[in-house]
Amino acid sequence: MPKVKLSEYATNTVKEVCASFNNSEGELINVLHQVQQKLGYLPAEVQELVAKELNMSAAKVYGVVTFYSFFTMVPQGENPISICMGTACYVRGAEQVLDEFKRQLKIEVGETTTDGKFSLSALRCVGACGLAPVVMVGEKVHGRVAPTDVRKIISECKDGCLT
């Protein structure tokens, strides 16, 4: 495993988040949520620090991170693309949309493009079933997406629509 020295910013962020939850072991999932939101991902060194701050073992933290598909140890791209694979989206062709993203970006689910621009993930139901199939790019929601729309969504990002 490559060795990463945590930046002062990352170290402080982790410590602040842990402190805001009173460094309580029971708040692990909430802590991980916020840390991932702020840092983008949860590398081993971050998990070690979380474990230390919450006074629990790194093995347990890693167990939780690998259990929930929401948590990622891979840095997210500048444009994190999530395809909803919930029942409604799935029956309306989400899988074909996902396949098209994979083909065009040349990455699998859970991976990030080498230029760091895009990452791909599948998620379960964003609560917008009326718009199925749904694709999220960062916070922006695209509804009723067809495979033919994929190129447009990607190029919009390249033009820097997402900030």
**Under the rule (CB under 8 A), what is the footprint of other proteins?**
1, 3, 44-45, 47-48, 56-63, 66-67
- 135: alpha, beta or left, given left = phi > 0 and alpha = psi -120 to 50? beta
CB of 28 to other proteins, least distance (A): 12
CB of 150 to other proteins, least distance (A): 29
Judged by CB, which is closer to other proteins: 1, or 22?
A: 1
Judged by CB, which is closer to other proteins: 88, or 109?
A: 109
CB of 66 to other proteins, least distance (A): 4
152 in helix, strand or coil?
Answer: helix
Judged by CB, which is closer to other proteins: 49, or 105?
A: 49
Residue 84 pairs with which residues in a beta bridge? 123
- 116: alpha, beta or left, given left = phi > 0 and alpha = psi -120 to 50? left
